[in-house]
Structure 1
Amino acid sequence: MKERLVQARLLPVRGTPGCGKTVLMNLLHAYILKHFPSALVKVQHSWPPRESGPTLEECLQKLDPGFPRPNTITFLLFDEGQDSYSDDILWNAFFKEVSYAGSYRQYRVVLFCSYGSPSSRLRSYHIGARDDARISLRPREGSIGILLKRSEFDEVVSLYERKLNLNPDLLDLIFDWTVGHVGAVIKMLHVISYQRVPDTRRGVQLTVEAFHAENPTHKLVQALAGGAFERGLPKVMELSAQPDVVALFRNLLKNGAIDMNENAADEAIRKCHRHGWIHADRTANGAITRYVFPSPLHTMAISWRLEPTNDMPHFPSLFDLAIAAISEFKPSQLHIPLHRASPQSTDKPSKPQYQDEFYRSVFSVTFGNVCLSAEFTSAREARVAGCIDFFIPAVKWGIELTREGNQLNEHSSRFTNSGAYEAWLNSGDMNDYILLDCCTSIPSKQFPEIQNLFHVVFQDGYKKVDVYDNMTKLVKGSIVLLENHQ
């Protein structure tokens, strides 16, 4: 960090709302005072608009009364640094000179920004910041990131203000769902800290099963409202007034990421980027920018904020919808690793890979009327009981996938009178559910106690599917899968 501060001169720090930029700025302030005792540090919380106001020199002198200081290293820390993007003169006359060690070579500038870069006409100056001097959510090679590393996440949990006693598997789940996004981590800990308090006081660990029992997906989405995490999400009213943003979100939910040249980004992408609802990172191909949601938890929350469309086709039953989605599977998609799939090698598709293809298909047949779980968006290969993977809000149907009979008893237990989804089912918030077991051979064991279970058996190199019920009775045979589905 010390070398970066000395060498970078102009250091952009980019992250979506609630990821901890302001806290990082305050920590950096203290760090500079400790490690650069002869330097000055000035903080600007928001750069003022200057259309008809003070000159650039007057603004800089207000920030640093001794400006310009030719003989003293001076650090300028800009919170809400994106407010400076519209100030052509600030970037052309000051930041450019700082970046290239020109007239203001004694200054070091750190910009904490909620999104990308200045306008296109200024981008050549912004590129004055080297790649290894850019700090974003996720670390690039030779750089660092804002997201918490696992060791930092564990420290945050240990220092949380309310007593917690979390099972290691639940800690893994929270880290996977939040990817170390500070606002998401703190919100999850806040929600959990008020649940099963008597058990916590008695030293009983909160397990993944207990977490899901307390937090069916629809209730978790409600509980996540408010706080720093909420600042990174659009309000429902904002979405209803911006159909272009809704269309972009549906596209992003379907594909997981959008890659394009930054100059070609349309207004919807620019709008979402400016608000911090999506994050942008440069790919290995420097000309291409990848737009993604900040974390799996953000992805889940946004999918639940989108209002169902009125053009969803009618399906007589959830089983009919499931068959329609399965019929849209593309064999090749089960042979190749997908963008959400786990990196672990296997000779059979992983659960996340089956989930990915089912989501693509159910998204298509419902015209995008599907909500996601954080379990799905994080591509976790669940080691213990998980949660509903997909929810169709227009008809209140829940869909869960498993693979090769994995943990069928744990999955089914969530739909019993004592299971995690009892309240969801009994309240009418979920009208029906289905459990789909994706496998490559007919199961030898029957499961009479597991209702609504269907084995989806792929054969002939994933070109044909037969569907069996919980008693291994064939209920839908010879579904031929093609590559040319739209």
Structure 2
Amino acid sequence: MEYLSHPLGGVLCSQLSCLQEPVTELPEIDIMDPLICPRTATVQELARIVLEEGVVHVRGTPTSGKTTLALLLHKYNTDNDVKSVYIRQWSPMKSIEHFGTYHLVWHARAAGFTSVSYDNFESQDITFILDNAQTSYKDDQLWLGPLKDQNNNCRQFGPRFCLFMSYGSPTEGPDDPSPNSIRSGIKILQRVSITVSRLENSPQISLFFTREEFDDVLQRKRCDQKRPVPLDSNAADYLFHLTNGHPGAVEAVLAMIHKAHQSDLLHRVIPEVTKDHILEILDDEKRSFRFLLETPFERSLPKRSNVNANAANILRQVLKNGSIERDLENPGIKECYQRGWLHSEIVDEETEEIVCVFPTRLHAKYVEQYMTRSLTRFPKRKFPTVEALAEAVLREFSPRNLSLETRLGTGAVVRPVEACYQDEFYRCLHQVLGFASHVYSEWSGDGDGRIDFRITDVAWGIEILRDGDRLDAHCSRFVKNGSYTGWIRKGWLKDWLIIDCRSSTPRAYKDPNTKLWRAIFADDYTSIEVRNASNNVIIPRFPLMN
């Protein structure tokens, strides 16, 4: 504390003498580890944005790579002679006037910049990298002081701030900011999220890996002397779609793959892990999550012991609907949001609509696995066949939902147009069953793995297509040596149905014995007619309601 005596003043020094040393030491992450992707392009762009904008917010849920990226930015600054101070977390002291600035001075001097004082702080070209910045939200002296000052000026000098936070408003930082804070001044250019935002002028970087960075990670894992995980190209593609490049999820799934196939890889029984190997692991969902819960990724999952009834209901709603409006007056939403089980993202800059979504498909699958079970038996009397259930689900479809141009899915990524029928069927399946039966959905969420939906209580499966896309391939999965015949032999599938959703009347399918429905929608999605493979009407056209 001796170094504080002159630059900060004796009275302040005595007030600060009772405080613990500033938390500037680095976390136990070795960024020189050859297994860590340097993310060169992302780090360079982030450093440029911080330099130009002065204040940058990087928001991401737990295990999304915030600390690693913060340390990589700190190293990049240091290597390029940019004064840089890494602060692991904020420890405010409200009893001291202007403590925000003094605390920053303290951290700067502790990092070796001993010429920094309160009097010359505003002219110091230092980049402060604040990790776990959500711990600073209640410190008005920081947010109303140096952060607001730097955010509001257009000068190209003075302290700069890169704030890494696990939750917070995409547009304001703290969710309940004080009057006159910087809440209205966080521009699109200053926001970095888990994925690249669709909003115009957003930074083209994110916490999640780009495909190039993801491939770099896989190459490093392939060469790992202790735990090599060689993946072929199809397996790599599937893993990227499954995780969306979430750093913690990528690491967790690779660890799961290695543990499941460690012996075969060691003895070269299999030279590379294929997509089928990954799907075989994921077929046993309980076992898969046991693997994942042994990794650091488990910190980001809503473990049942920590989830109250309000939060559980919200998680089920997001599972069913894909997203939910961020209403922080709702205690369940606030709980999920602040714990990092859901990520918030702005949908429309003009309306400032903000929604909450799952960070990855793995989070959605976890909720599906552990929070949709019910002691209520499947209503077999009400739905004696898979066809009866499918008709009830189709009758719940919403024209409004099918017509939406923008639908955010996991990771705040816009869902492709071709996924609208799958998403709506899943929503309505839960609407009809009321979570009374355990519904399994495909892991990657894009139909590129296993059957779209499986109702385990009755061993039924349902596949959803759009405009006959790859119809032959989907039908062949259920016959001869198709990819689903193993499930049929095991009794996991006792009945099934393929539903081809479309807006035009198709030709009759060549195999009339195929369990195929053609759901023909009106152009405005206000009605449906259902035909079989032979093109015979089996359910006359009926209206849909919003």
* TM-score (ref. length: structure 1): 0.81
Distance in 2, matches of 1:336 and 1:41, equals 45
Superposed CA offset, 1:190-215 (max 9, x none) = 11123344654356333222322232
Look up the SS of the partner of 2:515 in the other structure. strand
Partner amino acid for 1:130? K
Distance in 1, matches of 2:428 and 2:368, equals 16
Look up the SS of the partner of 2:348 in the other structure. coil
Distance in 2, matches of 1:128 and 1:220, equals 44
Are 2:303 and 1:235 equivalent residues in the alignment?
yes
* Partners of 1:311 and 1:367 within 8 A in 2: no
Distance in 1, matches of 2:516 and 2:406, equals 23
Partner amino acid for 2:317? N
* Partners of 1:318 and 1:434 within 8 A in 2: no
1:129 alignment counterpart: 186
Partner amino acid for 1:248? I
Name the CA shift for 1:329/1:375 in 2 (closer, same or farther; >3 Å): same
Partner amino acid for 1:18? T
RMSD of equivalent CA atoms: 3.5
Name the CA shift for 1:433/1:25 in 2 (closer, same or farther; >3 Å): farther
Name the CA shift for 1:177/1:56 in 2 (closer, same or farther; >3 Å): same
Structure 2 unmatched runs, 5+ = 1-44, 110-115
1:270 alignment counterpart: 334
By how many angstroms is 1:271 displaced? 1.9
Distance in 2, matches of 1:276 and 1:332, equals 30
Name the CA shift for 1:270/1:334 in 2 (closer, same or farther; >3 Å): closer
2:379 alignment counterpart: 314
* Partners of 1:318 and 1:432 within 8 A in 2: no
Equivalent residues, number: 451
2:21 alignment counterpart: none
By how many angstroms is 1:414 displaced? 4.2
By how many angstroms is 1:56 displaced? 4.1
* Partners of 1:327 and 1:480 within 8 A in 2: no
* Partners of 1:332 and 1:483 within 8 A in 2: no
Name the CA shift for 1:61/1:463 in 2 (closer, same or farther; >3 Å): closer
- Please give the residue correspondences for 1:39-438 in structure 2 after superposition, counting only pairs within 5 Å: 39-51=82-94, 55-56=99-100, 59-65=103-109, 66-68=116-118, 69-70=120-121, 71-101=123-153, 106-116=158-168, 117-122=173-178, 124-140=181-197, 141-143=201-203, 144-160=205-221, 161=224, 162-197=227-262, 200=265, 201=268, 204-216=271-283, 218=285, 219-239=287-307, 242-259=308-325, 266-286=330-350, 287-309=352-374, 314-316=379-381, 317=384, 319=386, 320-329=388-397, 339=407, 343=416, 350=418, 352-369=419-436, 370-375=438-443, 377=445, 380-382=446-448, 386-392=449-455, 395=457, 397-403=459-465, 404=468, 405-407=471-473, 408-412=475-479, 413-416=482-485, 419=486, 425=490, 432=494, 434-438=496-500
Look up the SS of the partner of 2:67 in the other structure. helix
By how many angstroms is 1:329 displaced? 4.2
By how many angstroms is 1:25 displaced? 0.8
By how many angstroms is 1:484 displaced? 2.4
By how many angstroms is 1:63 displaced? 1.7
By how many angstroms is 1:5 displaced? 2.4
By how many angstroms is 1:169 displaced? 2.0
Distance in 2, matches of 1:381 and 1:323, equals 21
Distance in 1, matches of 2:175 and 2:499, equals 50
* TM-score (ref. length: structure 2): 0.73
Partner amino acid for 1:325? V
* Partners of 1:330 and 1:481 within 8 A in 2: no
1:13 alignment counterpart: 58
By how many angstroms is 1:90 displaced? 1.7
Superposed CA offset, 1:140-178 (max 9, x none) = 334121111111111011111332332322211111111
Superposed CA offset, 1:104-126 (max 9, x none) = 96211111100112142337414
By relative contact order (CA 8 Å, sep 6+), the higher-ranking structure is 1
2:48 alignment counterpart: 3
Look up the SS of the partner of 1:193 in the other structure. helix
Partner amino acid for 2:86? V
Distance in 1, matches of 2:251 and 2:348, equals 32
More moved, 364-373 vs 74-83:
364-373
Name the CA shift for 1:483/1:312 in 2 (closer, same or farther; >3 Å): farther
Distance in 1, matches of 2:373 and 2:66, equals 34
Superposed CA offset, 1:396-427 (max 9, x none) = 645230534342333553444xx3686xx46x
2:17 alignment counterpart: none
